[in-house]
Amino acid sequence: MKPTFANDAAIEQAVDLLRQGRLVAFPTETVYGLGADASNPEAVRRIFLAKGRPADHPLIVHIPSLASLDAWALTIPESAQQLAAQFWPGPLALILKKRADVPLEVTGGQDTVGLRIPNHPVALRLLQVFGGGVAAPSANRFCRISPTQAVHVQEELGDDVDMILDGGACQVGVESTIIDLSGSQPKLLRPGHITRDQVEAILQTKLLVTPEIEQADFMHVRAPGMMAIHYAPITPALLCSPASLLTIIVDLFKQGKKIGLLTCNTELGNESHLGAIIRMPMQANAYAQVLYSSLRELDNLHLDIILVEQPPQTETWRAINDRLAKATSIYSNVIV
């Protein structure tokens, strides 16, 4: 399916498709989503088929405005109101107790629902004209890298989607921060552009984070974004500390490996050892914006291995480190 430039006529067509229970990929400020009418179980099932995603993994419902929150959430705690007032529209998803009429297909059988108002003009327009909730996971195949451009969706899903709205490259580049407000203590389920500190400052309380979450809940994994292997390129990828990087490059080079490198280091020599090198921005938000497209670019070069230099391990880099750990988790444990 070729992307369609997202003008008013295209958005009208997308809304018609959603009303018919079809799938529409659309841009958000984080990544592209694979959308279906969240009130139509049959349409929602199509998302799982297209992605190859297990049916018990819940989806985020995208809503047009705060006024539609109580069509989905059973109760809206004060904490949700405060976060929504501060960060919506924006890259934050809230997990709340669901209303009885929210299809279990959307929530993976759970009694909670993920909700967010995305901050992208195309997504907002689509939601406003549609007038309901759009369930949308990232528009990639299960466990693969999320798409941040319309053409990535085309590469990922081919004709398994009925329309791809092209709204340019996503500004944020990594998936939304997920805060679970359905229990007695707020939890950070997935780090993102909106940081833990920002959320804690609004709520005036500490968030539970992994591994405390598992300890507190005996929680089985319910957010696929929390699984160890996720967001992964097909090429083996390895996360290396800056100190070990050169040794690893030389070692792999001696073994005759074709190496791709993702690094912030501007002084690194030895480029003759490398099949490809992508120099990443040294500022976290700028790094996040191009992270997935850079991994995708290296993945398309048919290299033997992708080396990723570990960025700083500070709070501002938490979402990036989380995604990098997952993109490289299959191999990092083995080699380093």
**List of residues contacting Mg ion (CB under 5 A):** 138
Task: Please provide the DSSP assignment of 139-203 as one string.
Answer: SSSTTBPPPSSHHHHHHHHTTSSSEEEE--S-SS-SPPEEEE-SSSS-EEEE--SS-HHHHHHHH
149 binds ligand TXA (CB under 6 A): no
- CA–CA separation, 238 vs 263, rounded Å? 12
Interface with ligand TXA (CB under 6 A), residue from 3, 103, 186, 225? 225
Region 56-95 residues binding ligand TXA, contact defined as CB under 6 A? 57-60, 93, 95
| 8 A C-beta contact, residue 17 and residue 163 | yes
Number of residues that bind ligand TXA (CB under 6 A): 28
**Nearest alpha-carbon partner for 245 in 336, 318, 328:** 336
Binding letters toward ligand TXA, positions 294-333, x by CB under 6 A: ----------------------------------------
Residue type, 53: R
Interface with ligand TXA (CB under 6 A), residue from 133, 224, 233, 275? 224
What are the C-alpha distances in Å from 99 to residues 40, 82, 137? 15, 20, 20
Closest CB to Mg ion among residues 151, 227 = 227
DSSP H helices in the chain: 8-19, 41-51, 78-87, 104-107, 121-130, 150-157, 196-203, 212-217, 242-254, 284-299, 318-335
Closest CB to ligand TXA among residues 217, 304 = 217
| Partner whose footprint covers residue 328, from ligand TXA, Mg ion, none (CB < 5 to 8 Å by kind) | none
Least distance (Å) between residue 304 CB and Mg ion: 27
- CA–CA separation, 107 vs 217, rounded Å? 18
Interface with ligand TXA (CB under 6 A), residue from 105, 175, 299, 322? 175
SS3 63: coil
Closest CB to ligand TXA among residues 36, 60 = 60
Region 269-298 residues binding ligand TXA, contact defined as CB under 6 A? none
27 binds ligand TXA (CB under 6 A): no
| 8 A C-beta contact, residue 189 and residue 318 | no
Region 124-143 residues binding ligand TXA, contact defined as CB under 6 A? 136-138
- Footprint on this chain of ligand TXA (rule: CB under 6 A): 28, 30-31, 33, 57-60, 93, 95, 107, 110, 112-114, 118, 136-138, 175-176, 178, 189-190, 222-225
